Structure 1
Amino acid sequence: MTAGRAEARENSGLEELQKRFDAYLQSRGLKVTHERELIFEEVMRFKKHFDADELYDRFKDKGFRISRDTVYRNIPLLLESGVIQKSAGESKREYFEPIRIKGHHDHLVCLQCGDMVEFFCEEFEALQDKISKKYGFDLVFHDHRLYGRCPKCK
């Protein structure tokens, strides 16, 4: 795939996520405000996991007047609309990541340095489906975080 095609595909994906977020807000009787648009756009610029404070700091560094409370109030809306997902992090704080074309994945997290590896394992997915069926459980979502020491920290 050429760079132009990849960029066009990513842009159309972002447009779809923007539409999803806007539709979600409207379905809840909430307005699509300028601040919400800025928050959405900045979240989509993250190429890594982030927390709400990192998002707020980006606005502060750029001179935008968006309050920390506004950022914190909008994170649940982004989550509920399905444009971001909770993710692993190196501390007790909640980390998030934008939904991207890469799709579902799980995480290996280093307890010492906080480095993170994203992975997808078909066998892992099949096993959790088998376990949920065994117990008559309708699986809706999962978040696997495997903790240990990375090669650098062994």
Structure 2
Amino acid sequence: MSFEASRDKFQAYLTKQGLRVTNQRLAIFDAAFAQKEHFTAEQLLDKARAIDDSVSRATVYRTLPLMTESQILREVDIGSGEKFYLPASGTNSQVAQVVCVDCDKIFEISAPFMEWYGSTVSLKLGLKPITQRLQVSAQCIAQRQTGLCPHRVAK
């Protein structure tokens, strides 16, 4: 989904929910869609404040659920106690996540088999799948060998 289509979808969702389309919410949207990697709420706060310094932490934390409910952002929980987000691409909902336990970097790879697998196991139980995810925790081979993780992002 394009930036413009996602922005229109978010604005329509806010209006439908009886919420105002504010400059702060649009700054949060713009900051989120400028990201190429998974990000946390705190990272988004920093980026949104660079766009509009009136953006508050509370507004970011209230806006993130609106963005995920409107399906323009995907939420990823890697079990670290912190949630990560990524703009929904709309191109492939069948992805597997591989999480480096050494640096918490999240990789996403296409996993077209997931739809078949989810349907097959659910139907055997008389159920219809709604959502599914595959997440693999992995160790960084380079870090184990050299002590340096090539994927580690400086904080």
Normalised-by-shorter TM-score class: 0.7 to 0.9
Q: Aligned pair in 2 of structure 1 residues 88, 19: CA closer, same or farther (>3 Å)?
A: same
The yes-or-no answer on 1:51 pairing with 2:40 is: yes
CA deviation after TM superposition for structure 1 residue 89, in Å: 4.5
The yes-or-no answer on 1:152 pairing with 2:142 is: yes
Which residue in 1 is equivalent to 2:22?
33
Which residue in 2 is equivalent to 1:65?
54
TM normalised by structure 2 equals 0.82
Identity value in percent: 27
Match of 1:50, SS state, is: coil
Which residue in 2 is equivalent to 1:18?
7
Give the counterpart of 1:128 among 118, 123, 140.
118
Q: Provide the aligned length of Structure 1 versus Structure 2.
A: 143
The yes-or-no answer on 1:107 pairing with 2:90 is: no
Cα RMSD for the two superposed structures: 2.0
CA offsets, 1:36-55, max 9 Å, x none?
Answer: 11111111001010111001
TM normalised by structure 1 equals 0.82
CA deviation after TM superposition for structure 1 residue 142, in Å: 1.9
Q: Which structure 2 segments of 5+ residues have no match?
A: 145-155
Q: Which structure 1 segments of 5+ residues have no match?
A: 1-9
- Which protein has the bigger helix share? 1
Distance of 2:68 and 2:58 partners within structure 1: 16
CA deviation after TM superposition for structure 1 residue 119, in Å: 1.0
Q: Flag as ranges the 4+ runs of structure 1 deviating above 6 A.
A: none
**Is 2:24–2:52's contact at 8 Å kept on the other side of the alignment?**
no
Match of 1:49, SS state, is: coil
Distance of 1:115 and 1:86 partners within structure 2: 15
Distance of 1:61 and 1:24 partners within structure 2: 25
